[in-house]
Amino acid sequence: MITEPRLLLTVGEPAGIGPDICLQLAFHALPSGVLLIGDLHCLRSRALTLGLSLRLEPWLEGNPWPALERGVLHVLDVPLAQPCRPGRLDMANAPAVLATLDKAMHLLRAGAADALVTAPVHKGIINDAGIPFTGHTEYLAAACGSPKVVMLLAGRGLRVALATTHLPLAQVAAAVTQEGLEGTLRILHRALREDFALSEPRILVAGLNPHAGEGGHLGHEEQDVIAPVIAALQGESLRISGPWPADTLFTPRLLEDADAVLAMYHDQGLPVLKYHAFGEAVNITLGLPIVRTSVDHGTALDIAGTGRAEGGSLLRALDNAAEIVRNRRAAGC
């Protein structure tokens, strides 16, 4: 019997808007069964703060998967060390935030769920707590033993993948290597086929330097690193082109012939995507053995507990996770 995808949803940083947008789900028609992983007491207290009337039911490992019911959410309780206060970070709670991810990984490995959706965490407070952490992407890659993964954000018809993720700008050029780029493009190409059901995906690759290096006068990474990788993959009949100057790459005429863009670094690609589709986009980690999606925004500490958090991106992240699970099943992966 084929079941609807079972989605795990980690609540994220408790002082941020993660609890707010998770609680909103009780009032939406969801694509699949969803199980929250977070602190039950924090969620109950945030529901009171927000004036939301819903039932929060504890779920224990081994219980049957929760049925969809309007006005009810099921929660696998992972208690925080300290009470959560909207907008007020507390590093004592960082281990519990990461414990929700570990719990999710445990359930996925045990075959008790089909995909993971994550609400935002605060990278800074986890580091302040003395735990090295650069993002879910890297944390889940390590947890899965995946040597290489790719961050892709998608919204309103635009898909932007990143060749490098969370690292200081000063380290980006050295991190763009032929080996790394080839691995990224292969993972992206495969995911577009299997997860997005595109039979012959077309990928545009951005240059690193202004005007894609201006023939070597404004940088040499295009000639030395990016172009040879593109040429090699074109030799395998992959529909990959570039390096394109990043300033004009994101224009309608070029994008209409593309399924995805590969940007060289975080703030080359994501500002464009977020300008285009903030609040409606989804962050997807490609190259993991599990399905993982997330929201396009952060913890928004400034509006936590105020009722102003918008949950559109989370709804799409859930939809997207369910769709990827169905596509992988259809492709036999």
Ligand X SMILES: N[C@H](C(=O)O)[C@H](O)COP(=O)(O)O
Ligand Y SMILES: NC(=O)c1ccc[n+]([C@@H]2O[C@H](COP(=O)([O-])OP(=O)(O)OC[C@H]3O[C@@H](n4cnc5c(N)ncnc54)[C@H](O)[C@@H]3O)[C@@H](O)[C@H]2O)c1
Binding site for ligand Y (CB under 6 A): 17, 118, 120-124, 136, 283, 294-295, 297-300, 302-303, 308-310
The item of ligand X, ligand Y, none sharing an interface with residue 270, based on CB under 5 to 8 Å by kind, is ligand X
Task: Choose between 129 and 303: whose C-beta lies nearer to ligand Y.
Answer: 303
User: Which residues does the annotation place in the binding site for a divalent metal cation?
Assistant: 166, 211, 266
Q: Can you say how many angstroms the Cα of residue 191 is from the centroid of all Cα atoms in its chain?
A: 14
CB of 196 to ligand X, least distance (A): 18
Q: Which residues are annotated as a binding site for substrate?
A: 136-137, 274, 283, 292
Beginning with the edge strand found earlier in the chain, give each strand of the sheet holding 6-10 in spatial order.
Answer: 55-58, 72-77, 33-38, 6-10, 115-118, 291-295, 282-286, 150-155, 158-162, 260-263, 202-206, 239-244
**36 and 76 in contact (C-beta within 8 Å)?**
yes
- Which helix (H) or strand (E) segment is 76 a member of? strand 72-77
The smaller minimum CB distance to ligand Y, of residues 17 and 42, is found at: 17
Q: Note whether 272 and 160 are within 8 A (CB).
A: yes
Q: Cβ closer to ligand Y: 85 or 123?
A: 123
Task: Pick the binder of ligand X from 16, 86, 135, 305 (CB under 6 A).
Answer: 135
* Least distance to ligand X, CB of residue 313, Å: 9
Q: Is 93 left (phi over 0), alpha (psi -120 to 50) or beta?
A: alpha
Q: Which is nearer to ligand Y, 184 or 294 (CB)?
A: 294
Binding residue (CB under 6 A) for ligand X from 101, 270, 317, 321: 270
Ranked by CB distance to ligand X, the top (closest) residue is: 135
Of positions 137, 209, 268, 320, contacts ligand X by CB under 6 A: 137
Residues 6+ apart with CB under 8 A from 162: 150, 151, 152, 262, 263, 264, 265, 266, 269, 270
Instruction: Give 17 or 50: the residue with its C-beta nearer to ligand Y.
Output: 17
Backbone φ and ψ for 47, nearest 5 degrees, come out as -60, -40
Stretch that binds ligand X, among 54-62, 129-137, 228-236, 249-257 (CB under 6 A): 129-137
Q: Does 293 bind ligand X (CB under 6 A)?
A: no
Those residues whose C-beta lies under 8 Å from the C-beta of residue 1, and which sit 6 or more positions away, are none
The entry of ligand Y, ligand X, none near residue 137 (CB within 5 to 8 angstroms by kind) is ligand X
212 torsion bin: left (phi>0), alpha (psi -120 to 50), beta (else): left
Tokens of 158: 């635009």
Give the interface with ligand X as residue ranges (CB under 6 A): 135-137, 266, 270, 283, 294, 296
